[in-house]
Amino acid sequence: DEIEKGGYEHFMLKEIFEQPNSIADSMRGRLDAKNARLTLGGIREQADALAEANRIIIIACGTSWHSGLVAEYLFEEFCRIPVEVEYASEFRYRNPVINEGDVVIAISQSGETADTLAAIELAKSKGAIILGVVNVVGSSISRASHEGAYLHTGPEIGVASTKAFTGQLSVLTMIVLSVAQRKKTITESKFKELLQELESIPDKIKKVLDSNDKIEYISSLFKDAANFLYLGRGYNFPVALEGALKLKEISYIHAEGYPAAEMKHGPIALIDEEMPVVFIATRDSSYDKIVSNIQEVKARKGMVIAIVTEGDVLIPKMADHVIEVPRCDEALMPLISVIPLQLLSYHIAIMRGCNVDQPRNLAKSVTVE
C-alpha cells in the first residue's frame, strides 16, 4: 500500500498530483500539435456515424456525468451537433426516444457501473451506436461498446474521482476536435490552436499544483463550515458541480453546485456570513456576468473564494480569497480549474479527520442498482 502511494499520504493526493502525467498519457500517440494531427485509433469504423450523427446522447453517472456536461458544450460549440446528457439511471427507466443516426457516448471510469451498462444495452436494443469512454481496459462497458477511446490514465484507487475526470475531459476534447475537423465546423487555425493548448495543459496543471500550500491554508479557514456553494458559468458550470460533489463525498460537508446565474432563483436565500461561496471565475466570455454574481454574494456578506485567471486585478479586490490558475482557452479551462477544487476538498477532509480514500457509504464502482 505504502509503496503504491509513491510517498503520498493518500491515493487521492497522489492521483491529484499525477494529473500532469496522466493527462499527457491520455494524449500520447493521439495528439500531434506540431503537425496538427489527431488520431483516435479506437474510433475508426464509427467515425463517420459520429460525425454525421443527428444527435449525441451522453450517458454516465457521478463525476463521469459532469465530464459529459463539458462534452455537451464542446460538441455543440465545435461540431454543431445537438447533445443530451443523461443520468444512466433515469435514462434506462424512461422510454427514451432513440432515432436512427443517434450516437450514444457512455462515459465510465470503471467500466462497470450497473446503471450505465443497462442504459447502453437499452440504447443498443433500439439500434444506437455505442462509443465508450472508459478507463479500465477490458471492462464490461468497453466490451459492450461498438468502439471507443480509453483514458489511459492508469488505475484510480481513491474513491473520489480526480485523474479520471481530467482524463475524460482530455479524451472527450480530442473526440470533439476530430469530429469538428472531419465536419469542417472548426477552422484550421482554431483546430491547431486548441491542439497546442491541449498539449500545454500538463504544464499548466503543474503550475496550479504549486498553489497547494495556499489552498491548504484556505482550507484551514473553512474546514468547519456546515455548507458550501459552488458557482460557475459556461464551461465552468460543470466544474462547480464537480467541486461540490468532491467536497461532499470526502468531507461530508453539504455542498451544492449551481450555474451562477441560477443563484437568484434559490440559493441566494442561503447566503449570509456563514456561507462560503466558491466561484470559478476565470477570464472567459461570461467573466463580466460572474463578476456581478460575486458582487451579489458580497452584498449579502457571503465569504467568497474565487478561482481566477492569473493577472486578474478586479476579482481579488472583491473576493476574500483567490486562487490563480494559468490562462487558457475557455473550452479547455475545466481541465485546469477543477484542480484547486480537488485540493480544497482533499485538505478540508483531512483536517476534519475523514478517510479520503474510502469515504463512508461510497463505493469506487457501483455494480448494483
**Which residues in this chain contact ligand G6P in the complex, by CB under 6 A?**
61-64, 108-110, 113, 116, 159-161, 362, 364-366
Q: What residue spans of 110-187 are helical by DSSP H? A: 114-125, 140-144, 163-183
> Measured over all CA atoms, what is the biggest interatomic distance in the chain, rounded to whole angstroms?
56
User: For ligand G6P, which is the closer residue by CB, 269 or 363?
Assistant: 363
3 state SS for 303-368: EEEEEEECCCCCHHHHCCEEEEECCCCHHHCHHHHHHHHHHHHHHHHHHCCCCCCCCCCCCCCCCC
Residue (250 or 350) nearer to ligand G6P, CB: 250
**Cβ atoms of 178 and 131 closer than 8 Å:** no
**Closer of 242 and 324 to ligand G6P (Cβ):** 242
Alpha-carbon distance 38 to 32, whole Å? Answer: 6
Could you give the CA distance from residue 248 to residue 254 in angstroms, rounded to a whole number? 6
Give me the least distance between CB of 142 and ligand G6P, in Å please.
Answer: 11
Identity of the residue, 22 or 109, whose beta carbon is nearer to ligand G6P in the bound complex? 109
Minimum distance from residue 141 beta carbon to ligand G6P (Å): 7
Residue 225 C-beta: closest distance to ligand G6P, Å: 23
Question: Smallest gap, in angstroms, from Cβ of residue 9 to ligand G6P?
Answer: 20
Residue with cell 453517472: 61
What is the set of active-site residues? 364
Tell me how far, at minimum, the Cβ of 153 lies from ligand G6P, in Å: 12
Give the nearer residue to ligand G6P in terms of CB position, either 171 or 218. Answer: 171
Q: Using alpha carbons, select from 242, 363, 356, 244 the residue that is nearest to residue 12.
A: 356
Q: Write down the least CB distance from residue 224 to ligand G6P, Å.
A: 25
State the distance between the two ends of the chain, measured CA to CA, in whole angstroms: 30
Q: Which helix (H) or strand (E) holds 137?
A: none
Across-strand partners of 250? Answer: none
Query: Residue 161 or 282: which CB sits closer to ligand G6P?
Result: 161
Q: What is the DSSP string of 176-197?
A: HHHHHHHHT-S-HHHHHHHHHH
- Return the residue nearest ligand G6P (CB atom): 62
